[in-house]
């Protein structure tokens, strides 16, 4: 059974991740201090680290630098509200194996954890990091979207919502599913934000991809 270290100083988010991972069969450790997290990872009992950037002592970049500097090669997934391209590039260049912006879908996080643990075991599959449907494709590692070879800029929430559609082509996704998946622990069941963001995706990626199923939700066609 793999043990995952969650380095997160917001108790609500840490508890949300830990509960989900335990349900998925993992054991977890939660640590709010970057310095303490380094010590735990150096002890050699950790299989993967989920790492926030904004920590109360040293930041996530420094945690990652110290781990890689000590020769620790276990997978590290940075999970942070800092979702700019510059921060993403900095995280990956510092040695992160993956970089996810908050808010996040737990199902997406779980899929990335499974992928990283498989890759660490020697069965890496880079194709699994690219989702495609017709002319539409998403690169999960670089967080880039493209339509017909043309690069399209998506916000963090738009990308997460688009990824949910590409993971479920042809399937109707209810507004509740999309809210829960794309807004995670912060979703409001009474919100119309899904409809707003689907309009954004239609405008950026193409109206023809996203079908409204009246009374049910939306479908990628």
96 pLDDT more than 60: yes
161 pLDDT tier (thresholds 50, 70, 90): confident
95 pLDDT tier (thresholds 50, 70, 90): confident
DSSP structure class, residue 131: E
Q: How high is the pLDDT of residue 188?
A: 64
d(CA 94, CA 87): 10
Q: How high is the pLDDT of residue 106?
A: 85
Q: How high is the pLDDT of residue 76?
A: 92
190-197: average pLDDT? 85
Where are the domains positioned within the chain?
3-120, 127-220
Phi, psi of 15 (to 5 degrees): -65, -40
Find out whether the peptide bond into 103 is cis, omega within 30 degrees of 0: yes
H helix or E strand, kind and range, residue 1? none
25 pLDDT more than 80: yes
Does pTM surpass 0.75?
no
d(CA 39, CA 49): 12
Question: 171 is written with which tokens?
Answer: 């399937």
Which stretch of 94-98, 106-110, 167-171 has the lowest confidence by average pLDDT?
A: 94-98
185 pLDDT more than 80: no
Mean pLDDT of the chain: 85
* CATH hierarchy code of domain 3-120: 3.40.50.2300
Sheet hosting strand 48-51, strand order edge to edge: 27-31, 3-7, 48-51, 76-80, 98-101
d(CA 208, CA 218): 12
Residue 186 backbone zone (phi > 0: left; psi -120 to 50: alpha; other: beta): alpha
User: Quick count: other Cβ atoms within 10 Å of Cβ 185?
Assistant: 15
17-26: average pLDDT? 88
Give percent helix, percent strand, percent coil of the chain, each to the nearest 5. Answer: 45, 20, 35
Asked: is 127-220 a CATH 1.10.150.670 domain? The reply is no
Q: How high is the pLDDT of residue 46?
A: 92
């Amino acid at each position: 059974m793999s043990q995952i270290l969650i380095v997160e100083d917001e108790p609500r988010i840490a508890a949300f991740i830990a509960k989900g991972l335990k349900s998925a069969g993992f054991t977890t450790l939660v640590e709010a201090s970057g310095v303490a997290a380094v010590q735990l990872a150096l002890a050699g009992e950790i299989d993967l680290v989920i790492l926030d950037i904004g920590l109360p002592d040293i930041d996530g970049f420094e945690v990652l630098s110290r781990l890689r500097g000590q020769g620790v090669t276990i997978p590290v997934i940075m999970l942070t509200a800092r979702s700019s391209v510059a921060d993403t590039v900095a995280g990956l260049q510092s040695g992160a194996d993956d970089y996810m912006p908050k808010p996040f879908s737990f199902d997406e996080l779980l899929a990335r954890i499974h992928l990283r643990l498989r890759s660490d075991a020697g069965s890496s599959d880079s194709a699994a990091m690219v989702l495609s449907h017709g002319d539409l494709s998403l690169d999960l590692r670089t967080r880039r979207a493209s339509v017909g070879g043309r690069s399209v800029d998506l916000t963090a929430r738009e990308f997460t919502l688009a990824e949910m559609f590409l993971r479920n082509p042809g399937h109707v996704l209810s507004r509740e599913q999309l809210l829960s998946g794309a807004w995670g622990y912060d979703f409001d069941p009474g919100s119309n934000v899904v409809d707003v963001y689907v309009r954004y995706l239609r405008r950026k990626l193409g109206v023809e991809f996203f079908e409204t199923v009246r009374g049910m939700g939306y479908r990628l066609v």
